[in-house]
A and B are shown apart, each in its own frame.
Chain A
Amino acid sequence: MDNDPFEVLGIEHSSDEAAIRRRYLELVRQFPPDRDPERFAAVREAYEKLRDPATRMTECLFHVETGRAIERAADTLIEQLHGARLPTDLLLSLAGR
């Protein structure tokens, strides 16, 4: 599980309070405590860290956290490729290479 609260909530460092709260509520609906208590706790913890502007700024400026951003980025790109509808000629060009 990631420790970076921005990664946990899946938001940008520049997100404002309203965006953070919106995303938090979205995730709480997605992972309610009775169904996924572990994920809910992580989301809650991340939100607690980011809800206060000073704490959020402290996180942004001084907290150095490493997660799985690179792995995730590769997965995201692969996912994007997977989702892309390939034109016929492009698809057929994959043969015999």
Chain B
Amino acid sequence: MATKNKKKLKSVDPLQRARRAMEKEDFRSALKEARVSHRQAPSEASRTLLERAHLGRAEQLQRLGMTAEARGVLEGLLALGVTDAGVEGKLPPILVATGLVDRAKGMLKAPLELDFTLSGSAADHAVRRPDEAPASLPELGRGARQIRSALDSLAGGDERSALETVKDIPRSSPFADWRLFVRGLAAYYRRDVDQMRANWDRLDPQRDAAQIAASLRMLAEPSPSDRAAQEQRRQAVDRIERAVFGESVAAPLMRLQEHFAAGRWRSIRQAWRGICKPLARRDPALARRVGQELISRAILQGNVNLVRELSRDAALPLDPRGNRAAALALRESLNKEDEGEDAAQARGAESRWLEYLADLDHVAELTDGARAVARSLVWVEIGRMRSISVEQELGRLHHRIMSFGRVDDDSRAQEGRLREWVLEAFREGIRAAPDQIAAYRALVRECRAWNKPEVVLSALEMLLARFPDDLPTLEELARHHLEGDDPERAAEYAMRARQLKPLDARLNEIAYHGQIALAAAAAQNRQWEKGRAALQAAGTVAGNEPPPWMRRAREALFAFRSNELDRGHELLAQAKRMLAEPTAVLLLLAFEARQWGLPADFAAKWRREFLAAARKRCQSETLTAICRAARPEPLLPKRREIDEELDRAVVDYVGRSSRIKWQHAAFCDAARHLIWFRDECDPLPQPKSLPKCILKAVNLLVRRGRDQFPEEPLLHLVEGERLLIEPPWADRILGGPPAAVSYLERYLAMTSGQEDAVTQDFRQRSQFAIFYLTMPHGLREEFTSMVEEALDSGGSIERVRDAFEMFAGAVSPMGPPPFMGPPHFIDDEDFDDLDDDEFDDDGFGEDGDGSEEDTSKIDTPQQQWRPRQESRQSRHRARRRRRR
């Protein structure tokens, strides 16, 4: 089509073509065609057209700033001779502007000096090209030299001389505009924007000075907000940069910014490729920063390919081959891709990090020390990546194991191998920089995820050997030994931690419990001196917890145990005097007598006295003290077991306390005790009929909480508890427990960030309850029977909770080993090989309870509550009957 048009056009007469080009303002072609036309067939029309084409082309070149070229065209026109009146009328201004003043003078009706526009134009040309100033107008040459001298002075930084030079130029002079320009330029250089504006605002926009000023103002004025003005600014910057440096960088950078705002990644890539090298030549530090920013944005996009391309164009000193950036982009994409892809992404990231470890040897900017730190940190990151893939693998397998309920010894080895693979990365990190704590901490975290206390312990001890004053490690070790029934070591670590931060309430509490645990253990072993020393040390630990009467009562317990009966009675009397009624003291003694190794008759006596005292009329202070004594204390050497008689009496007392004033502490402790009591009765938060006293107490707590302590997080736990235990359940619980779960979730949200042991304990309970209540119905049934089975064979609630955490794929806190034991990893082939006959309908082996269940023996919402011990025995009997 285009070829056809060209042929058609060639066949047309050159005069026609010249006319068409003139119409299109294509003066270059028009001039060419007009010359051909006039040479081939000279006529008046062709001559007129030729003259007009000359004029049009000269004006066009002048507009483009190509004065010399315009002048050449005009000289050609003048040599040809001007016959057209229209052309002749328009010639003088362009002749003057291009420096052909003498030739223009002949065409002017009045002297040049009287035409302000023409004389200004002549002055502008003279300033630009002083050598072309007409000899007939010497004042033009003088003025131009004056202005150029002022401009030279400013370029040399001599503002005073510049201003002095232009001072005498009168307002009527064609150089008056240049005087304003010089003044404005001086202000521009000294960054006085107001003065600059004051001078340059008065410039004639048609004159050269105004055009130069307009460009410079773009650099001095703040960045405009509207798009058109921004484009103008960019063009001005581009023009000046090209004039000054011969290439433009700032303007393309401004365009790059626009691409970012619009998210045009392909354009960003192209724009960066064009400017990265010029920018690095101009300012290497700036180029590095921009490169870093671009790569960071690509990383956050998770765009590995873009990261690679950008890194190729401008490698960062710390990341010469872009492996670090690619690994980070892969890590970023972990959260964006499908979860199933995470393991593959993590493996990809690991291989990138391994390559980066090799790159680190060639990073000249790093000192040896910094290189070692970098290596250590990279290994820690590799460990994290490995941990992600292992957790996903384990989570998938745990789920399958849950479906088939089979765990065998091979699983232990397989999980061990996987976990060791993760731990090895952290150990490499430690080897790379033994003085960096980050790798040790990562190792400890990973060991916790394994849920193997002995592994955690050895990791913690390794950390402490290198960093003996690491407070979190000391605290964790103290807690670990308290829970692991090693009071001596617990006390040692707790006291070391406390020495580092003597006023910390949490550390003081741990230190106190450590010493009390030590004293109780010494009392049991008849090591009186050791016990007394521990008690004395406990007495030196400051803090409000536990209250003084509890401290005194424990001293009394030790005194009775060490056969110092008089001292024991004296201390007991002191403890009782600290309260309005002795009820709470008696309760504490009854609870802890066995722990301190006292004979059963002591405990029985205090038990009787407490039960008698608890039947009296309720009092506010007694309620507070009783609830405190009954509070399940996670820091005690051994978490106390439920004492049905005493705990029930406490619950009963709480339920009767409807007409007394409640303290906030009493409300909190009563709530904790009730929830703990219920948990101990049945570790599964399933709908169940419980004694009336529990329901009464829970209802009272809900009422009190709503009235007096609406902001207390524990109120939400109690509300949730009420939904679980108050009949009828079917409407609210079975088939979905949304209300109870939302209360538990609110509790978790309100207590997030609270690190005290008691709150942590209840947070774990709540997480466990939510997990259980939100399980699919069928799976919940299966779990329930598995857990009951485990409890029947002597499991504890902690073990049950750990088992659930393990199944949920959650990271468990350091505690006892998992209830189910390590899972068996079943490959897909193993699934194919499974013989259906090996399993019953419910998926359990023949040793399981897959046989027809005697439903009358299973706890159901309709069944009445019994203490767990009793229920456990009856279930054992039922199982024996079935086996027979």
Contacts and interface: CB of A to CB of B under 8 A. Distances in A.
Given A81-B219, A90-B243, A61 B189 contact: no
Interface string B151-189: 110111100000000000000000000000000010011
Interface string B283-297: 101101110111011
Contacts of A7: 289
Secondary structure type dominating chain A contacts: helix
Nearest to A77: B250
B253 interface: yes
B619 to A, nearest CB: 52
Given A88-B152, A95-B208, A81 B332 contact: no
A53 interface: yes
29 contacts: A58-B377, A60-B318, A61-B324, A61-B381, A62-B381, A65-B296, A69-B292, A69-B293, A70-B260, A70-B293, A70-B294, A71-B257, A73-B253, A73-B283, A73-B290, A74-B257, A76-B283, A77-B241, A82-B219, A86-B243, A86-B244, A91-B155, A92-B127, A94-B215, A95-B208, A95-B211, A96-B64, A96-B211, A97-B65
A85 B290 contact: no
Given A53-B369, A97-B65, A67 B317 contact: no
Contacts of A94: 211-212, 215-216, 239-240, 243
Nearest to B157: A85
B244 A54 contact: no
A78 B63 CA distance: 26
A36 B369 CA distance: 37
A53 B436 CA distance: 10
Nearest to B124: A95
Nearest to A72: B289
A80 B374 CA distance: 36
Interface size class of B (residues with CB under 8 A): 35 or more
Interface in B673-691: none
Interface size class of A (residues with CB under 8 A): 35 or more
A88 B254 contact: no
B378 interface: yes
A74 B285 CA distance: 13
B237 interface: yes
A66 B257 CA distance: 13
A88 to B, nearest CB: 4
B220 A82 contact: yes
B289 A97 contact: no
B438 interface: yes
B463 to A, nearest CB: 15
Contacts of B374: 57, 60-61
Contact of A57 (B279, B299, B370): B370
Nearest to A85: B155
Nearest to A7: B289
A93 B127 CA distance: 11
A96 B373 CA distance: 59
B294 to A, nearest CB: 8
B254 A74 contact: yes
Contact of B250 (A58, A61, A67, A81): A81
A97 B67 CA distance: 11
Contacts of A58: 377, 438
Contacts of B553: none
B128 A14 contact: no
A94 to B, nearest CB: 5
Contacts of A18: none
A22 B381 CA distance: 31
Contacts of B315: none
Contacts of A88: 148, 151-152, 155
B239 A57 contact: no
B124 to A, nearest CB: 7
A77 B219 CA distance: 10
A81 B237 contact: yes
